[in-house]
Every structure is written in structure tokens, then in C-alpha cells.
Amino acid sequence: MRKTKENKEQLIRDPVCGMWIEPDDAADIMLYEDKIFYFCAPGCKKAFEKEPEKFIKVNQEELSTEK
């Protein structure tokens, strides 16, 4: 399957880099505040672990501006 924004219903967004990934293809996952976050690479998970609130805030702002 080609991974594009158009078929994002089946994809999950990495909260650090913004890459759309299939949940089964995630390099790593993490439970934070009762929510599961999926990561495309171990480096993204490490960055998230250091400053989770920073990435959660950025993604909430992006989602509120997407149409």
C-alpha cells in the first residue's frame, strides 16, 4: 500500500517527525497518559521520551488546523 495522507485512515502519525506509518510497521510504541504512540524509528521514540508534552502540543495544534 502506498502511504499517503489520502489513506491516513489506516495510518498512524509519528508524533515526533510527523511521518504516516502503518501501526504494524512501527519501529516502537509507547504508552503515555493512557494513549498509545507509534514511532517510525527508535530515535523518534527517544526524542518523545525526553519531551513528550512538546510533541503532544505540536500535534494537537497541527490537527486543529488540518482540513
In a domain, 67, yes or no: no
DSSP letter for each residue of 16-37: TT--EE-GGG-SEEEEETTEEE
Residue 12 domain-assigned (yes or no): yes
Sign of CA dihedral 23, 36, 43, 62: positive
Handedness of CA 4, 36, 65, 52 (dihedral sign): negative
Question: What domain range is 51 assigned to?
Answer: 5-62
The predicted pLDDT at position 41 comes to: 98
Number of domains in the chain: 1
Contact 16, 29 (CB under 8 A): no
Q: Is the residue at 18 inside a domain? A: yes
* 11 within a domain of the structure (yes/no): yes
Residue 52 inside a domain? The answer is yes
pLDDT in tens, 37-63: 999 999 999 999 999 999 987 666 565
pLDDT tens column, 11-32: 999 999 999 999 999 999 999 9
Answer whether residue 27 is part of any domain: yes
